[in-house]
Amino acid sequence: MDVTLLLGGLLLAGTSALAWRSHRRARRAEAEAAGLRLALDAERHAAGHDPLTGLPNRRAFYRYGAELVADRHRPAIAAVVVDLDDFKQINDQYGHAAGDTVLRAVARRLADYAGDDLVARLGGDEFAALLTGAAIDVARGRPADRLSAVLSTPIPLGGTADDTTVTVTASVGLVPVPPGASLAEALGRADEEMYAAKSARCREPQAAPAHPPPDTASPEITGQPAELARSKAGGS
């Protein structure tokens, strides 16, 4: 065998092996970098979102909301604070798992209502939003009635033998955010409106039902705080 051919073959084989090893190292480095990016993205998402509802959390709401409010070319904005009425009763009567189910359902309904607008869970049973455009028009006038209507459909708790559902009401504060106002100032005024609405609800006279069934309550939003409704499959 020609020595030159032999050496050439060995050199080619060595070069190919080296190229293959380099390719594998590059692919491994790319995979590690992609995994690191995914981990960082997941960490950033977790840092800015509520783990129970998936909504932005308080920190993310203030960060993104402050940028939106400060934009001099922004559309008209309304700051909204939503606080569920007597939510503790749900936890006490049905347990914290049921309360979590209600919070997730409320979060979905508020997010659907807000569309592309910013909505967040501030903590506990309190939510906030920055509404623009049509969402403001729908909520303006009687925001408690408009936004409470979003929550009016009974929420199935799941995992119960009698297909229990609950209906919640909410106290709502909605204020316009004028140019030059800060997000903290706007939310403070919305919070005051919300507490005023909650106090007004508490002062409303509550008429006793004529002949209430022994184990059920009306599933309708009546304007009274925290109407808890238990209904069974087939209605009873």
Handedness of CA 138, 145, 83, 235 (dihedral sign): negative
How deeply is 152 buried, as exposed, middle or buried, from its count of CB atoms within 10 A (0-12, 13-18, 19+)? middle
Crossing angle for the helix pair 3-48 and 58-70, nearest 10 degrees? 90
Total structural domains in the chain? Answer: 1
Asked if residue 184 has pLDDT above 70, the reply is yes
Asked if residue 162 has pLDDT above 90, the reply is no
Domain of residue 167, CATH code? 3.30.70.270
Task: Answer whether residue 168 is part of any domain.
Answer: yes
80, 61 Cβ separation under 8 angstroms:
no
Active-site residue, selected from the candidate residues 117, 125, 162, 215: 125
d(CA 55, CA 111): 8
134, 174 Cβ separation under 8 angstroms:
no
Residue 10: the pLDDT is 58
pLDDT in tens, 94-105: 999 999 999 999
pLDDT in tens, 66-105: 999 998 888 889 999 999 999 999 999 999 999 999 999 9
Q: Which domain holds residue 89?
A: 58-203
Task: Answer whether residue 35 is part of any domain.
Answer: no
125 is catalytic: yes
